[in-house]
Chain A
Amino acid sequence: AQSVTQLGSHVSVSEGALVLLRCNYSSSVPPYLFWYVQYPNQGLQLLLKYTSAATLVKGINGFEAEFKKSETSFHLTKPSAHMSDAAEYFCAVSASWDQGGKLIFGQGTELSVKP
């Protein structure tokens, strides 16, 4: 079975500071990994995905994530936080289609950005 653990339900950074949101996964097969962002009263928007190509993945809004198999991690980073980055961030692992292709989400991390 696959699972995702996000360390830290709430992260607070100052504007301009580094953003680091942690995600560890468990999977018996090579995983497909995703980061989604949810702004208040909105749906989930894809930030980036890892699908077994480059281990460093660049996404939208200046975010990137690095797949580290040895650490079973897929942490999300952004060099300089902006006020507009305040949102809930979800890491997810995807099962292959013979397992339904469903997304399994972590608990989410709420990012606050202080001026």
Chain B
Amino acid sequence: EPEVTQTPSHQVTQMGQEVILRCVPISNHLYFYWYRQILGQKVEFLVSFYNNEISEKSEIFDDQFSVERPDGSNFTLKIRSTKLEDSAMYFCASSDGGSGNQPQHFGDGTRLSIL
């Protein structure tokens, strides 16, 4: 069964450094998402992406964050200058429909640790 893959599984970065989290969505999916889960808290929406542009972003997704689909397969999340509070599990998801009734398929996540 096709799956969403994320790399790396764990990223340790010094505060203030840039980090790029990578995702390969399911190949025929057109809608892409990033979520994060701070330890012990619920999963929070960050951003949705369709047709090479952001469809919606949350208050968390400030100017330090950006997303890109650099080629036909990868979907990346960049944090320009990391802060301690960016430490979390980051999940990528993709869907083949954007009307809300199509399920989103999640990767196993990248655990980001900011020192």
Contacts and interface: CB of A to CB of B under 8 A. Distances in A.
User: Are A and B interaction partners?
Assistant: yes
Interface of A: 32, 34, 36, 41-46, 49, 51-52, 90, 92, 94-97, 99-108
Interface of B: 4, 6, 31, 33, 35, 41-45, 48, 55-56, 58, 91, 93, 95, 98-101, 103-109
Given A41-B108, A46-B105, 8 more contacts: A32-B101, A42-B109, A43-B106, A44-B106, A46-B103, A101-B33, A102-B58, A103-B35
Given A43-B107, A100-B48, A102-B48, A51 B56 contact: no
Q: Report the 10 A-B pairs with minimum CB-CB distance, sorted nearest first.
A: A100-B56, A51-B101, A43-B106, A94-B100, A44-B106, A97-B98, A43-B108, A102-B45, A96-B100, A105-B43
Contact of B55 (A34, A49, A100): A100
B86 to A, nearest CB: 19
Contact of B42 (A95, A99, A100, A107): A107
A36 B35 CA distance: 14
14 contacts: A32-B100, A34-B103, A43-B109, A46-B103, A97-B100, A100-B55, A100-B56, A101-B48, A101-B56, A103-B33, A103-B93, A105-B43, A107-B41, A107-B42
A95 B100 contact: yes
A54 B11 CA distance: 43
A28 B83 CA distance: 36
Which of A41, A51, A103 counts the most chain B CB atoms within 10 A?
Answer: A103
B48 A43 contact: no
A42 B37 CA distance: 12
A44 B43 contact: yes
